Structure 1
Amino acid sequence: MSDVPNVLVLPSPAQGHVNPMIILSQRLVEYGCNVIFVNTESIHNKVITSMGNQEGGITGGSRIKLVSLPDGLGPHADRNNFKELFGSMLNNMPAMLEKLIEDLSLKDGIRVNCIVADVVMVWAFEIARKIGIKDVLFCPASASLIALQRSIPKLIEDGIIDSNGLPITQKTFQLSPSFPAMDSDSIWWTKTVDSASRKDTFDAAVHCMQIQESTELWLCNSTPEIEPGAFSYLPKLLPIGPLLRDVTEEKSLGQFWEEDHSCLSWLDQQPHASVIYVAFGSTTLFDKNQFTELALGLELTNRPFLWVVRQDSDCNNKVSLPNEFKGNQGKIVEWAPQQKVLSHPAIACFVSHCGWNSTIEGLSNGVPFLCWPYFADQFLNKTYICDALKVGLGFDLHENELISREEIKVKVDKVLGDENIRSKAHVLKEKLLNNIKDEGRSSENLKKFIKWLKE
């Protein structure tokens, strides 16, 4: 066997899953591995297009080989229908993945030694075991999400949820004494966009947990400073975070949309710690009234803001700015180089949906948060940001179930005027970055993983 491991990396087809797995792949290459990065065809095409058609990875001679497999759906299918998408992937992709691994060996002389699969792509482990190669679980979300998922039998036993995963009680609970108190909002599988898919999401979580059980190694994009309780609860889980992009990279591999770098020169012209950065990830949908309140709320703050508003062809939630919005003190872009933005000295706070990548990037740059979760684990992440780490604030809903423009102004003023939040955010930033220094815990864990790969 070659002493250069060939690692097949398999993310779920979502921006928040592809991002950290691309960064992990880049780390593996730095440690001397070759990576075969497998996306579904529709995602692969987006990634290639956003890179300016650089087939094969970062450069022609890259050690990250980008390949694709069909997800089994037709060209015009709705890939936002997760039940349909994941059902089709499960029916079609395992056989194709097995054939891909066989072809890599026969046609290209590449023998795959290990599959690193996303938490929701664990069907790939059955193939790894069948052909006798190593399998590794990668969690692109928080360690607490895995801990909560693995506590399902206990949550049922304790009367917190019923056998369908739905909350029975509104009372707070703790998974262990070292965990922050959680409420029913933290139970991520109940926070689906449409209530009809809750049972499917819960069943999928239980199924994935059963397959994960026999996987030898689990990696997670987190650190014990963020969620100490989760790592003591799950000793098998190796923290390798924060997985951060190299900000000197001209283009970020793995993006679904082209990044607008004009916002960086705009930030250069703004005063230090003055700009509100507003970004809600790749899946958040706003209704027209809430979008209007957000626009007018940003204006009401009377501060400079940088706002990411997707308007691309596959954005199924195009909303227009209200007529009374002038936007003079702000800049709006369709997609931003987020890591570069958050590390810019002009940024004062981050109005975020609290997706895990955004959470990790914001915390690693010492930026205070204003939390606006939309679905799934984002509510759990908000609990950590606001209650456990105390580096951000949440918004309160008005009686019409909207976050009002006045509430936005009040919370922006409050978070920017809170010296305690800012100093906590800076202290946490230093702790997180220490993990990825040469002798840091996450760097040592990655070395441990590489050593295990080469055995």
Structure 2
Amino acid sequence: MPAMVEEVRAAAEAGAAGPHFLVVTYPAQGHINPARHLARRLLRATGARVTISTAASAFRKMFPGDEEGAAAGECHRDAAGVWYVPYSDGYDAGFDRAVHDHTHYMSQVRVVGSRTLGAVLERLRAAGRPVTLVVYTLLLSWVADVARGHGVPAALYWIQPATVLAAYLHFFRGTDGVDRAIAAAGGDPMATVRVPGLPPLRIRDLPSFIANTSEDDPYAFVADMFRELVDMLGREDSPSVLTNTFDAMEPEAVASLREHGVDIVPVGPVLSFLDEAPGAGCVSVAKNGGNDLFKQDGTGYLEWLDAQAPGSVVYISFGSLSMMSKRQIEEVARGMAASGRPFLWVLREDNRSSEGAGDAASLGGERGMVVEWCDQVRVLSHPAVGCFVTHCGWNSTLESVACGVPTVGVPQWTDQGTNAWLVERLGAGVRAAVSDKDGVLEADELRRCLDFATSEMVRAKAAVWREKAHASAAEGGSSERNLRAFVGKQLGGGN
């Protein structure tokens, strides 16, 4: 995108303050990753200054040893050239979901975060680096008010599928009575509902916060936050929403949102490895590794993958938040042992030690390797990996599509059911059936899904969608053009 870079340089030569994008994100790995990828793409696309702001607790984990910087609210620069600055959410020592109350946390982050993020904007302005656009991710709609209070425009960066945003929009607005239809389904997961503009969906395919509403759900407050977000979009004139998807993947959802007044801007897949030079592959340590909230396992998993046959390894990971019961761990281990397939399994320490399940992974036999955390993109792009058993978080879903790896989806909550539905629509994977009793994926079902996902038909579909994902993000692709038009507006250059 050389034209945008030239505009930035021209502004600098004229003595004007150059563009400065501030990307504000919730302090969770699944939010920080897409924020980081967007920041790096904006940096590459414009040459402007790009800063990420997240809570001090996450900042400390990303930059260990910089305790004083986190406490002082100082900036830190990563290897890719993106700056980071913390705000305080009132929980600087970190949020412990076993101890702390989620509802209280979200009220605190709004009050304390509004004040401290405002201070960040003031410091950057005083330092001669005023922010020209604030971009914020999910659960942080208060950020828009802070930005506008400081005279800075703000835009939402939607880090879930456009289909999920459309479902929330129509549910909370009651478009065509879809809210009543969902309520009438009575929680039947297989009941079909029609969301305006979208293909038929079952209740299980909808975001859990509208499909399974329960007053005693500790996360019920999240639905209120999405309702607030929909209300906020309704108060704006044609609000622009950056979305981590691409036109070919969700055409119906994009069209439905635009028809109902949301200027959706698909800019995905927003993944740093797609922005590297041709032939660089998916393995750049500088752009994909490091600065995670979890320490990567140092047990040589990449060398282990190098010794495996092409397309033979099953990669298993349920993400950074999902909890696995002892029975789930045992069923996965039994299924993999019976399958005879080699596997790489990410089993976080909090899962491995839960309910006495610490030794369950050994049931997988000698063919498997278990690690606490890894560089997922490097794993998915490795030629030995032929299938991904996943919780279907949107980051993991996009990474599997962009790397051409078929998936076995085991969604648990939030947008994951919709993500699994999308992958099945693409033909690039299969959603596993789970036990009605406890939601566990059992060994025999895992084996059946592995056989299907690694079939030639699914492999071929996954390869097709890999090419479409790469084409959308490449120079001249649909997402690249969309981002160029969006940034052009922010630079005052129109479309």
Q: Which amino acid aligns with 1:271?
A: A
Deviates more, 1:169-178 or 1:338-347: 169-178
Shift of residue 97, structure 1, vs aligned partner: 1.1
Aligned partner of 1:432 in structure 2 is 469
Q: Any residues of structure 2 matched to 1:299-314 within 5 Å, and which?
A: 299-311=337-349
Quote the residue 2:325 is aligned against.
Answer: 287
Change (3 A) 1:268 1:226: same
| Rounded Cα–Cα distance in structure 1 between residues aligned with 2:367 and 2:352 | 29
Q: 2:117 aligns with which of 91, 94, 97?
A: 97
User: Does structure 1 retain, via aligned residues, the 8 Å contact 2:57–2:94?
Assistant: no
Higher relative contact order (CA 8 A, sep 6+): 1
Question: How far off is 1:72 after superposition?
Answer: 1.1
Letter in 2 for 1:336: C
Which residues of 2 match residues 53-452 of structure 1 at below 5 A? Answer: 56-59=76-79, 63-73=81-91, 75=93, 77-79=95-97, 81-106=101-126, 108-152=127-171, 153-154=173-174, 157-158=177-178, 159-162=180-183, 171-190=191-210, 195-197=216-218, 199-213=220-234, 214=236, 216-235=239-258, 236-246=263-273, 247-251=282-286, 252-260=289-297, 262-311=300-349, 319-322=357-360, 325=363, 327-386=365-424, 388-398=425-435, 400-401=437-438, 402-416=440-454, 418-452=455-489
285-294 vs 405-414, greater mean Cα deviation: 405-414
**In structure 1, how many angstroms separate the alpha carbons of the residues matched to 2:56 and 2:354?**
20
Conserved? CA contact 1:260–1:337, under 8 Å: no
RMSD: 3.0
Residue 36 of structure 1: aligned partner: 51
> How far did 1:398 drift?
4.1
Q: 2:134·2:152 contact (CA, 8 Å) conserved in 1?
A: yes
| % identical aligned pairs | 27
Query: How far off its partner does 1:425 sit?
Result: 1.0
Aligned equivalent of 1:22, options 33, 36, 39: 36
- Using the size of structure 2 for normalisation, the TM-score is 0.83
Give 1:382 deviation, angstroms.
0.9
CA distance in 1, matches of 2:293, 2:443: 31
Check whether the contact 1:79–1:85 (CA below 8 A) recurs between aligned residues: no
| 1:315-370 residue CA offsets vs partner (Å, 9 max, x unmatched) | 97883133862531111111111111111111111000000000000011111110
Separation in 2, partners of 1:52, 1:249: 27
Distance 1:22 1:151, change over 3 A: same
- TM norm structure 1: 0.90
Q: Which amino acid aligns with 1:64?
A: V
Instruction: Provide the rounded CA distance (Å) in 2 between the counterparts of 1:290 and 1:398.
Output: 10
Q: Is the 8 A contact 1:186 1:383 kept in 2?
A: no
Q: 1:219 to 1:77 in 2, by over 3 A?
A: closer
In structure 2, relative to structure 1, the CA distance for the partners of 1:85 and 1:429 (3 Å cut) is: same
Q: Using a 3 Å threshold, how does the CA distance of structure 1 residues 333 and 86 change in structure 2: closer, same or farther?
A: same
Maintained 8 Å contact 2:189/2:202: no
- How many Å separate the matches in 2 of 1:28 and 1:410? 42
Give secondary structure in 1 for the equivalent of 2:106: helix
Cα distance change on mapping 1:314 and 1:117 into 2, 3 Å: farther
- Cα distance in 1 for partners of 2:253, 2:156 equals 16
Aligned length: 449
Q: CA deviation at 1:57?
A: 2.5
Uncovered stretches (5+) of structure 1, i.e. residues with no partner: none
Supply the distance in 1 between the matched residues of 2:264 and 2:466 (Cα, whole angstroms): 22
Letter in 2 for 1:175: V
For 1:86 and 1:178, the matched residues in 2 are separated by 32
1:11 is aligned to 25
